[in-house]
Amino acid sequence: MEKKNEKRLWVTIDTEMDADIHWKKTQPACFSSVVEGIPAILRPIWNEYDIKPIYFVSPEVLGSDECCEILKEEIRKGAIIGAHLHPEHIEPLKEEAGGGEEKFPCIAYSREVERAKIDNLSKLIQERLGVHVEWYRAARFGADVDTIEILQELGFKYDSSFTPNIDWSDRGGPNHKLSPINSYYIDLKDIYDNGEKTEGIKEYPVTIMGKRFGVLGKFLPDNWLFYRWLRPTHMLYIEQRSMIREAKKTKIADIVMMFHSMEIMIGKTPYVRTKWMQNYYIWRLKKTISYAKKQGYFSI
């Protein structure tokens, strides 16, 4: 897919149902970020900066004919579709959309159930969008060695579930602190070993570096919010620009930006509550993409 030694920017969007300013999912399910946000807000940005995004699609989105039509149009324009397993929204053990607590797929279910859910989501994407899915990201970044084995068994090629420097175990999830920052082929004997493997599942970790706010960062709690993410959601543009510079200096070939589809909409997450906040979010997104491209990080 990519040539050796080329620098790549991967813009990834966890594509889900709407939430509210408290991150509570809407009931009944609504999808304004897909049916309005993608064509009206994101597509013009992708066209302007020649971005081929990866939409990691959650199961409940595929139940909407309107969402599927939007995503099919994105596919025609070069977008990639990935599987994004929010396990509560697909069989087996499916729950009501918008109800219940979101789960770490690799922790909340047995290996057999997790495999069945990933397989069912893969088949649903094929049925509803007409594509054979090769990319995967677990909800809440809940992937472990069993997950990677399952992906390999099911014919996936790429994963983007690891979050370098972040330990989710206090919330009941996996500990990804030891994950490399750059892309690498996963060794099932040690899924965080950036060794010499040249086949299997290739990991594209979300680009997350050390603590924010310089020397003051060491006094901050060990919480995901206080680490530097390539994520316009909560990160300043100058912070993301600094990360890109650091990535280039340390020869990180692949940088992975992530955000949720709902984050670009007003009142659908805690991060955008007014029109001004929405405009500022879009400004940060565009400025970061533009700077990455100026530093030689191009989309696929």
Residue pLDDT, tens place only, 209-219: 999 999 898 89
What is the total count of domains within the chain?
A: 1
What's residue 101's pLDDT?
Answer: 73
Amino acid identity at 242 = S
The confidence score (pLDDT) of residue 100 equals: 60
What is the rounded CA–CA span in Å between residue 244 and residue 242? 5
Q: What is the mean pLDDT of residues 228-252?
A: 97
Cβ(102)–Cβ(30) under 8 Å?
Answer: no
CA distances 133 to 3, 63, 124, Å, are 21, 17, 10
CA distance 13 to 72: 15
% residues pLDDT > 70 (the chain): 97
Q: Is residue 201 part of a domain?
A: yes
Q: What is the pLDDT of residue 118?
A: 98
Per-residue model confidence (pLDDT) at position 111: 98
Query: What's the rounded Cα separation, in Å, for the pair 67 and 69?
Result: 5
Average pLDDT, stretch 113-135? 98
What pLDDT score was predicted for residue 66?
98
Q: Are 201 and 137 in contact (CB under 8 A)?
A: no
Q: Taking the CA atoms of 274, 10, 229 and 247 in sequence, report the sign of the dihedral they define.
A: negative
* pLDDT for res 196: 83
Q: Is residue 300 part of a domain?
A: no
Over 80: is that where the pLDDT of 98 sits? no
- Tokens in use for 66? 């309107």
Domain membership flag for residue 176: yes
Does any domain span residue 262? yes
**pLDDT for 78:** 98
Backbone phi and psi for residue 216, each to the nearest 5 degrees, phi listed first: -70, -20
1 found inside a domain: no
Residue 145 burial (10 A CB sphere; 0-12, 13-18, 19+): middle
Measured between alpha carbons, how far is 243 from 17 in angstroms, rounded to an integer?
30
Identify the domain containing residue 143 by its residue range: 8-294
pLDDT tens-digit series, residues 24-60? 998 899 999 999 999 999 999 999 999 999 999 999 9
Q: Kindly provide the residue ranges of all beta strands, DSSP E only, lying in the chain, ordered along the sequence.
A: 8-15, 54-57, 80-85, 135-138, 158-159, 184-185, 202-203, 208-211, 227-229, 254-260
- Enumerate residues 6+ apart whose C-beta is below 8 A from 115: 150, 153, 154
Q: pLDDT at position 26, please?
A: 84
**Residue 300 pLDDT > 80:** no
Q: What is the pLDDT of residue 130?
A: 98
> 14 in the Ramachandran plot: left (φ > 0), alpha (ψ -120 to 50) or beta?
beta
46 located within any domain: yes
pLDDT tens, residue by residue, 159-202: 999 999 999 999 999 999 999 999 999 999 999 998 888 999 99
If you average pLDDT over residues 126-149, what whole number do you get? 98
User: What pLDDT does 195 receive?
Assistant: 85
| 8 Å CB contact between 83 and 118 | yes
Q: What angle is formed at CA 72 by the lines to CA 69 and CA 78, rounded to 5 degrees? A: 150
Tokens found for residue 218? 């060491």
Q: What is the predicted pLDDT for the residue at 84?
A: 98
**For residue 241, is it within any domain?**
yes
Q: What is the pLDDT of residue 102?
A: 83
Question: What is the predicted pLDDT for the residue at 116?
Answer: 98
**What is the reported pLDDT for 3?**
54
104: domain CATH number is 3.20.20.370
pLDDT at 249 over 90: yes
The single residue listed with the structure tokens 């100058």 is 238
Instruction: Determine, yes or no, domain membership for 76.
Output: yes
Q: Please state the rounded mean pLDDT for residues 79-107.
A: 88
